[in-house]
Structure 1
Amino acid sequence: MRETNIKNMNKLFFCRLSSLILKVFWVFLIMSLQISIVWGQGFSQDEESDETYAIDSAKSSWWYSGRAKENYENKSYREAIVDFTRAIMLDPEVPEFYYLRGNAYAFNNQHDMALNDYKKALELDPDYLSAIGNLGKEYFKRRDISGAFRYFLSYLRLLPKDPKLFFGIGLNADYLTLLNNLGWESLRAKRLPESIRYFNSYLKLAPNDPDAYLGMALIYYNYRDLDNALLYLNQAKELEPALYQGLSGLIALENQGCSYSVEDKSQLSAMFEAISNTHDDIKSITRLGTWKFLFGFIYFFLGIAALLIFVFRLKFFEGYIFYLALLNLSFGLKFLSENPLIRLTEIPSAEFWQYAMPLIAFVIPVAFILFIRYFIGWGWKKSILLLLIYSIIQGVIKIIADYSEPAQNIYGTANTIFGLLAAVVLLAHLFLPEMRKNREVQLIGAGLGFYLLAILYDNLAHLNWLPNKWSFDEPAYLIFNITLIVVAFKRITNTEKEFFLVKQDLETARNIQNAILPDVNPKGENYEVSSAYLPMALIGGDYYDYHLADKDSIGILIADVSGHGISAALIASMIKVAFNSQISNVRNPAMVLQRMNLGLSGQLNNEFITAGYLGIDLKLKKLTYSSAGHPPLILYRRSKDEIKEISVPGIPMGIFPETSFNDTKIQLKSGDRLVLYTDGIMDVANPGGELFGKRRFMELIQQTKNFLSDDAVDAIIEQLNAWSGKKEDEAHEDDITLIIFDMM
């Protein structure tokens, strides 16, 4: 039988080991795929460089460049890339080669390579206008609005004489550019008096700019003032004759006395259409940036709100609120970083965004998975845990790659893979039997499904399979995020309800416990009793009570249950029942403890009770004391001004039902004081962690020896609060009970 069990255990061990190895293998396989995606492009280029780019040493770089241009014009982009690469290998310092190869890459849908070539062209020639413009277009294609805006603005600042490029940028440029923009904008809107005013103001500050003269010429032509139109046109052409080559309508304006042909009008119409298109493109960038700022502000606000809720509810430590806050703050920073105006202000700096964005991209999936875990757990076969491990490893790889090669765009494909894995795993959990009735999980699934549909629409629209007028992924994620907030809010509400019910139950239990404690302390002709009880929570595990069998005797019980909270309070109520049944044995403390122990043993659920019981014959002033593992009784002799402890051996109640207890007898005198207490007094700690201890307690009893019993109790409790640094309404680390009996 034993050998069979060992074999079964071995089989179980090897099954679990095999399962673990299989899971690790799949994670390793997925990460290998990830690494190959991130850097595979560079590897493939290196592998084919030796044979594909073989060079004829008899031919120059410009010869290869010329043939590459022919291939480019014939739309043979791959052949053009090869020849441009040969030209670069022969002469790597010519920016035009990189720019033209970048164009070929762009038309060949190799946009990352195109970006790198445009940037290399700018490294060699920072004022290479065509490279700057194409960089702006490439960033605009991939919806990196801040990058597009930055390069468009650089283009405009380097070529501030082309009216087509000024529209929509004036508010972000200097005062001169603003005046020129307003002049052209007013002219396009046919507000001719305003246009004249703006152009005149501009020409007073920049009299050598042909732009404004061209604008004035078109204004006067609209007024049919041909003489002034021709005058301003001549001034414009004298300043820069090559600026308007190819615009036959403007040449006709000079040669034919401003009389236009149909062809001329179409030429001018085409020019203004180009101006309008440029204007609309820039406006769309600004409009999109405004939406991103709005989304960023909403997410950031929600993140701050969630973080404040988490801090205010820190005692509950609801981690899902923290991860929701982290998720929204990260998305808020992501959207704010994509706003061009924020990037242009450089507050924070460009270096901040360069290092922050990879970290934000790392935090978003990790925070999302940790949030989901609170509602799904680690999932079927620990799939949520594996997804978390994958996202962490992927994030680290992306951070390292981005910091080492910041020019690479490594986010799109990697995030797509993670998104697909997360979608498959999470949607699969919706159909698990235990999740079908979980409304929180179903609501999260509905929001996720809506978001995935929006992503699907955007991808199909990108392929021109659906209309490409709208993008739904960002509004859809906002809706998905709202479902997460709703789920979190419902969880908070449920927690509050449960906490309220528990608190209500605790209040009820406290009222019950207060009811089982003595309402008043007994007082007679020759004795006085005072007490204090401070539970560590709403309810505690200490208990004390009195036996008043007749006017000549009194019994005092003090007990401390080993646990705390509700269970200890319930045991305390059991002690009262057991204690009340022993009132006839008030003069026999050992018998009281023995019978209480017999009734309580086997019912304390692995807890135990320390207790001390003293019976006093008030007429004879004779004390009998017994203990069940309780701290010693303290006796202060006023006649001798001395303090001593009275210890009686005994084991706690509730452990062995047949336990016998011993007692000791002491003759009391007038002025004697007895102090009973629980060990919570010794265990009071100050902010530095130092315990109050027995020595300080004994010194405190000595200091209060001349106080009335009530005043002595109050003074001791006050000193304990001062030592701990707690207020009167703050709980200590353990229940505290103190009883002082004075013999008159």
Structure 2
Amino acid sequence: MQMLTDLPVTIDRATLRADAIDLACGTAFVIVGLASCAIAFARRRTKVRMFYWLGIWTCLYGVNVLWVPLHGIQPYPIRVIEPYARALTMYLVLPFAFLSWMEATRGWVRRFSAVLVVIEVAIAIVAFAVFLVTGDPNRLLVPNNLVAALGLAVLLVVVSSNKLFAKYCVMPSRGFFTFAAFVFTVEALFSNIINPLGHPMPNIFEHLGFAILLAAFGHSALQMVEQSERRLLGIESELQVAREIQVSILPTTVPELTGVRIAARYQPAASVAGDFYEFLQTDPQSVGILVADVCGHGVPAALIASMLKVAVQSVASSADHPGELLGALNRTLAAPLRGQLVSASYLWIDGKAQKARYSAAGHPPMLRWRNGRLEAVESNGLLFGVLPDVVYPEREIALTKGERLLIYTDGVTEPENLQGVEFGAGGLQALLAKNGMESGAEVATRVFAEVPLWQVEQRQQDDMTLVVVDVL
């Protein structure tokens, strides 16, 4: 019986070595590609999409490399789909390569790269269709390679010139990227010249050229992420300063009046807000309460809210006449608002006489809680910024012991639950009925805790301001 070791075995060492190199490099490229996609997901806040395209590009390249050493040893289902997968992946490498380059460019170079992406996708679709009909995956390799050469030529021209690079590239530096582009180009040209002459170059040189280019893209992407995050940190720092300034213009204490107790709560939805409130106290027995809401959010709304602080002080002489004060505010703000709209509600309280006057400019109605019922008090005119001269109606209210007044912005009442029902006056009424014996400050705190829970996403989506007035 002949021993197994005596059987003649012919081993093509060169093929074995090439397969081992392809297996190692292909696996490494797939791992790097997956890592790049993971980094893109983790750093999605910075919106650097190049990592996604780099990851997919690298994975596709690695898969194409792995087809050769793994041919014939895959499980049966993979062997069945292998020809189709190879025909598809070999043409999808370039679209994602151009997408990666597109993310690093701007201007006409970016637009040109987008055109190349569309062309390559079209070639991939047609090539796959031709393969399904003829069984030949190589029919469109020539036009595919021509587009690749065109894209590479444009890349070389741009990165070779300091002026062009600065004008059309968003990458912070060009040194390493330029070196990598030239290395990759030299390798590609050398391979395409030597291979047809019958002297094929080892695949390791192609893999090294691609690895260097990939490293340059990755290095540039990391620089772009770092640059973007520094910019975001700078913006967040500036927003924090803006928030501190905005908070500093709001009242730090509430007025104390005989027979009246006031509580106020303010919570912006973002770093800065468009809500504003102010107290105008001209004597120990009376106070004016202004609550305003600038349409919109963020920095523009916050700037207008800050303007209100100055504007209110300029019309303080009309503090005891809500209609006059709102009219004067509207005239003062008409030009600076430049089309922006503001709603406002103003309540004047005379603690000694136990009466109040109320007026509003397109604002949610004041709510009055007494005898276990919630009533809406309305006396509305146009929003600030619609017309320069507006007359605001005024309503006088006789205050009674034990009642409670609520002035607020729509961020308190408009949030909706899963059924599309607003928190509204009904939510406030239920909360007041349940916690009627608590102080105004405690009620305001409960409202601010309940509203986010009512919302679909259970997080604050609008600025919230609430002033609670208890008549003692």
With normalisation by structure 1, the TM-score equals: 0.59
Q: Would the alpha carbon gap of residues 598 and 210 (structure 1) be closer, same or farther in structure 2, given more than 3 Å must change?
A: closer
Structure 1: distance between partners of 2:120 and 2:397: 74
Q: Would the alpha carbon gap of residues 424 and 725 (structure 1) be closer, same or farther in structure 2, given more than 3 Å must change?
A: same
* Structure 2 counterpart SS, 1:566: helix
One-letter identity of the residue aligned with 1:723? W
Displacement, 1:316? Answer: 4.2
- What is residue 108 of structure 2 aligned with on the other side? 379
Displacement, 1:488? Answer: 1.0
Give the one of 306, 324, 336 matched to 2:36: 306
1:212 aligns with 2:12: no
1:481 aligns with 2:214: yes
Give the one of 456, 461, 467 matched to 1:739: 467
Give the one of 339, 344, 353 matched to 2:69: 339
Displacement, 1:559? Answer: 0.2
- What is residue 591 of structure 1 aligned with on the other side? 324
Displacement, 1:308? Answer: 1.7
- Where in structure 2 are the equivalents of 1:442-591 lying within 5 Å? 442=174, 444=177, 446-464=179-197, 472-591=205-324
Deviation per CA, 1:320-363: give whole Å up to 9, x if none: 222122112222222233333x7514387212433322332243
The question of whether the paired residues in 1 share the 8 Å contact of 2:334 and 2:385 is answered with yes
Q: Would the alpha carbon gap of residues 381 and 419 (structure 1) be closer, same or farther in structure 2, given more than 3 Å must change?
A: closer
Q: Would the alpha carbon gap of residues 535 and 545 (structure 1) be closer, same or farther in structure 2, given more than 3 Å must change?
A: same
- Where in structure 2 are the equivalents of 1:14-413 lying within 5 Å? 207-208=1-2, 212=6, 279=11, 282-340=12-70, 343-346=72-75, 349-377=78-106, 379=108, 382-410=111-139, 412-413=141-142
Displacement, 1:416? Answer: 1.9
One-letter identity of the residue aligned with 2:376? E
One-letter identity of the residue aligned with 1:675? L
The question of whether the paired residues in 1 share the 8 Å contact of 2:355 and 2:397 is answered with yes
Q: Would the alpha carbon gap of residues 375 and 689 (structure 1) be closer, same or farther in structure 2, given more than 3 Å must change?
A: farther
1:661 aligns with 2:392: yes
Deviation per CA, 1:382-417: give whole Å up to 9, x if none: 432331221111000111122333355446434322
Give the one of 416, 429, 436 matched to 1:705: 436
Per mean C-alpha deviation after superposition, the further-off stretch among 382-391 and 342-351 is 342-351
Could you say which structure has the higher strand fraction?
2
Aligned residues: 468
Q: Would the alpha carbon gap of residues 506 and 469 (structure 1) be closer, same or farther in structure 2, given more than 3 Å must change?
A: closer
Structure 1: distance between partners of 2:4 and 2:297: 89
The question of whether the paired residues in 1 share the 8 Å contact of 2:18 and 2:202 is answered with no
Q: Would the alpha carbon gap of residues 664 and 317 (structure 1) be closer, same or farther in structure 2, given more than 3 Å must change?
A: same
Structure 1: distance between partners of 2:318 and 2:107: 60
Structure 2: distance between partners of 1:468 and 1:670: 96
Displacement, 1:381? Answer: 10
* Structure 1 counterpart SS, 2:282: strand
Deviation per CA, 1:619-662: give whole Å up to 9, x if none: 00110111111111111123xx3321111121111332222322
Deviation per CA, 1:667-695: give whole Å up to 9, x if none: 10111110111112232133565543443
One-letter identity of the residue aligned with 1:399? F
Structure 1: distance between partners of 2:435 and 2:241: 36
1:419 aligns with 2:134: no
- What is residue 360 of structure 2 aligned with on the other side? 627
Displacement, 1:452? Answer: 1.3
* Structure 2 counterpart SS, 1:681: helix
Deviation per CA, 1:225-249: give whole Å up to 9, x if none: xxxxxxxxxxxxxxxxxxxxxxxxx
Gap runs ≥5 in structure 1? 1-206, 216-274
Q: Would the alpha carbon gap of residues 290 and 626 (structure 1) be closer, same or farther in structure 2, given more than 3 Å must change?
A: same
Displacement, 1:378? Answer: 6.3
Per mean C-alpha deviation after superposition, the further-off stretch among 355-364 and 613-622 is 355-364
The question of whether the paired residues in 1 share the 8 Å contact of 2:444 and 2:466 is answered with yes
The question of whether the paired residues in 2 share the 8 Å contact of 1:378 and 1:384 is answered with no
Per mean C-alpha deviation after superposition, the further-off stretch among 313-322 and 657-666 is 313-322
Displacement, 1:710? Answer: 1.6
- What is residue 455 of structure 2 aligned with on the other side? 724
The question of whether the paired residues in 1 share the 8 Å contact of 2:444 and 2:468 is answered with yes
One-letter identity of the residue aligned with 1:662? P
* Structure 1 counterpart SS, 2:336: coil
The question of whether the paired residues in 1 share the 8 Å contact of 2:411 and 2:464 is answered with yes
Structure 1: distance between partners of 2:315 and 2:86: 75
Give the one of 642, 664, 667 matched to 2:373: 642
Q: Would the alpha carbon gap of residues 446 and 208 (structure 1) be closer, same or farther in structure 2, given more than 3 Å must change?
A: closer
The question of whether the paired residues in 1 share the 8 Å contact of 2:258 and 2:351 is answered with no
Identical residues among aligned pairs (%): 24
Structure 2: distance between partners of 1:691 and 1:479: 58
Per mean C-alpha deviation after superposition, the further-off stretch among 680-689 and 391-400 is 680-689
The question of whether the paired residues in 2 share the 8 Å contact of 1:379 and 1:385 is answered with no
* Structure 2 counterpart SS, 1:311: helix
One-letter identity of the residue aligned with 2:100? F
Deviation per CA, 1:9-47: give whole Å up to 9, x if none: xxxxxxxxxxxxxxxxxxxxxxxxxxxxxxxxxxxxxxx
Gap runs ≥5 in structure 2? none
Structure 2: distance between partners of 1:661 and 1:627: 7
Per mean C-alpha deviation after superposition, the further-off stretch among 312-321 and 677-686 is 312-321
* Structure 2 counterpart SS, 1:483: helix
* Structure 2 counterpart SS, 1:376: coil
Structure 2: distance between partners of 1:688 and 1:290: 61
One-letter identity of the residue aligned with 1:680? G
One-letter identity of the residue aligned with 1:739? V
Structure 2: distance between partners of 1:527 and 1:648: 22
1:675 aligns with 2:406: yes
Could you say which structure has the higher helix fraction?
1
Q: Which structure has the higher relative contact order (CA within 8 Å, separation 6+)?
A: 2
* Structure 2 counterpart SS, 1:549: strand
* Structure 2 counterpart SS, 1:459: helix
The question of whether the paired residues in 2 share the 8 Å contact of 1:507 and 1:538 is answered with yes
One-letter identity of the residue aligned with 1:454? E
One-letter identity of the residue aligned with 2:28? I
The question of whether the paired residues in 2 share the 8 Å contact of 1:611 and 1:630 is answered with yes
Q: Would the alpha carbon gap of residues 699 and 459 (structure 1) be closer, same or farther in structure 2, given more than 3 Å must change?
A: same
1:692 aligns with 2:417: no
Structure 2: distance between partners of 1:470 and 1:700: 74
Q: Would the alpha carbon gap of residues 348 and 479 (structure 1) be closer, same or farther in structure 2, given more than 3 Å must change?
A: farther
